[in-house]
């Protein structure tokens, strides 16, 4: 176990971590998998696989996600007024992999339709949130995007499970009895 700095440390002090080991430790927290999509001023579509999605507030309806500053799609997300969070189901690993790798046209073989704002919504997901970008927050080597949910839709089938990511691999989520 790696010890974290004590509360007596000043904010300017940063602990020295082995970054790979730190990433491995963070990987012990399992997450769902999403694809965030947007469109730029040239009507080019962008999408990225993200596990950092989270709710912020119910009233107003706010969500967040973060993106590394060096991502090829970063400028498109910074300049776009809207983004869409697409929640992947356990049978959409290929979609997650497609949007996690560099590609000229990530949407080429991906079934999707457009939101009223012209942003791709992936078909067959567990749900999606259309968000107006509310604010961006400096998060070190990442930017945290906070969006106000303008509308949403979700799959009501109880037979569809989310895609789950834990310790660097995909997993299936299972129900637990109380």
Domains of the chain: 31-160 (2.30.110.10)
pLDDT at 30: 64
How confident is the model at residue 104, as a pLDDT?
Answer: 84
Q: How far is CA 15 from the centre of its chain?
A: 27
Per-residue tens of pLDDT for the chain, all 178 residues: 434 444 444 455 567 878 788 777 766 666 789 999 999 999 999 999 999 899 999 999 999 999 999 999 999 999 999 999 999 999 999 999 999 998 889 999 999 999 999 999 999 999 999 999 999 999 888 999 999 999 999 988 776 888 988 777 777 777 666 6
Contacts of 37 (CB under 8 A, 6+ apart): 45, 46, 47, 83, 84, 86, 119, 120, 121, 122
Q: What are the start-end ranges of the E strands in the chain?
A: 31-32, 34-39, 45-50, 54-57, 62-68, 82-87, 112-114, 120-122, 127-139, 142-154, 163-166, 169-172
pLDDT at 4: 40
- Residue 77 sits at the vertex; the CA angle it makes with 43 and 64, to the nearest 5 degrees, is 135
Query: Counting runs of H as helices and runs of E as strands, what totals does the chain give?
Result: 3, 12
Q: What pLDDT score does 5 carry?
A: 45
pLDDT for res 8: 46
Q: What is the pLDDT of residue 177?
A: 64
**Phi, psi of 35, rounded to the nearest 5 degrees:** -120, 125
pLDDT of residue 25: 79
């Amino acid at each position: 176990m790696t010890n974290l700095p004590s509360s007596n440390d000043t904010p300017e002090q940063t602990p020295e971590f082995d970054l790979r080991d730190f990433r491995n430790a963070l990987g012990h927290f399992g997450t769902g998998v999403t694809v965030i999509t947007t469109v730029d001023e040239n009507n080019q579509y962008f999408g990225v696989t993200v596990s950092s999605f989270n709710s912020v507030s119910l009233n107003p309806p706010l969500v967040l996600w973060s993106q590394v500053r060096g991502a090829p799609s970063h400028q498109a997300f910074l300049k776009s007024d809207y983004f869409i969070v697409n929640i992947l189901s356990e049978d959409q690993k290929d979609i997650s992999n497609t949007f996690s790798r560099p590609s000229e046209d990530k949407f080429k073989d991906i079934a999707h339709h457009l939101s009223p704002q012209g942003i791709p919504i992936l078909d067959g997901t567990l749900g999606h949130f259309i968000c107006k970008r509310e604010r961006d927050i400096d998060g070190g080597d990442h930017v945290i995007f906070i969006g106000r949910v303008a509308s949403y839709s979700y799959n009501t089938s109880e037979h569809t499970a989310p895609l789950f990511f834990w310790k660097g691999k995909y997993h299936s989520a299972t129900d637990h009895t109380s």
